[in-house]
Amino acid sequence: MTQKPSILVARAVFPGVIEKLSQHFVVDANQDDVLFTPDQLKQRLQGKQGVFTTGSERIDAGVLAVCPSLKICANMAVGYNNFDLDAMTAAGVLATNAPDVLTETTADFGFALMMATARRIAESEHFLRAGLWNRWRYDMFTGTEVHGSTLGIVGMGRIGQGIAKRGALGFGMKVIYHNRSQLDAATEAQCHATYVGKEELLRTADHVVLVVPYSAASHHTIGAPELALMKSTATLTNVARGGIVDDAALAKALREGQIAAAGLDVFEGEPSVHPDLLTVPNVVLTPHIASATVGTRRAMANLAADNLIGFLVSCKPVTPLNPQVLP
């Protein structure tokens, strides 16, 4: 009887997913959800052919050099900036991610976070909970219009397109976008979106939403110079990745009233948050939960599992990132 391949599930996940994987593999499951140090991760990967990862496990040349049996790393996320894809490809290790299954849920959350930011929902709730509400005033927590305003989207992939449709069709917003390349005319028409340059978007939009993938090229896509271009009444929402925004520059811009407000679901160096962001009232902060519905997280976990099963059992992964390593 052929011995089952061994895999590591690096973080806690739904028990049903562990059961599914156990039908095909010898599973080393971290259901205690210990955050591995780099050395601990290397140790746990010894003898493993596959690993189920989240964004907190860095797979790079150093890990690959001491884990020669490793053949696949399956990320339970659409983003994969925890992977050194070049190093993995050079080592012949397959990388997979979990696209598509979180598109609509993340678009929902991105739009909700933008609305909460524009309408000062978190700020006013803190005010109420602190027992400070004792009368009505005409200008109490007046925010920024959403309906009929201009929505600027940076990064027009699947999630960006979902946000565009919500804005245009649900809220009568004028949608402009900036992307590495312009979308085809049919997709633009579906999204009711117009392509513009980055500077024009920043100068024009009432609400800027970031949905661009993280890479060295997109690091600090929004920094002090970009914030200076935005309207003083504008909001900025980031549901992309930490590092897209210079968090220190953003905190300064918020404190000085350079822009009206911001909504952030992702941060540089998360789970740490820049301390300056915690001292300004006009920012909504959430702990990287844009895809956090039970159904979507189950779908993400199952897709990661299906990639491991598909590759190690039949050499047919579902969503490979570097298919050139396949036989």
> Which positions are catalytic?
241, 270, 288
- Quote the CA–CA distance of 14 and 29 in Å, as a whole number: 11
- Quote the CA–CA distance of 9 and 29 in Å, as a whole number: 5
Q: Residue 152, by phi and psi: left (phi above 0), alpha (psi -120 to 50) or beta?
A: beta
Paired with 52 in beta bridges are 9, 74
DSSP assignment string, 171-199: H--EEEEE-SSPPPHHHHHHHTEEE--HH
Closest CA to 290 of 164, 102, 68: 102
Closest CA to 90 of 114, 117, 59, 133: 59
CA angle 290, 140, 110 (to 5 degrees): 10
Identify whether the C-beta of residue 51 lies closer than 8 Å to the C-beta of residue 5: no
Q: Which helix (H) or strand (E) holds 7?
A: strand 6-9
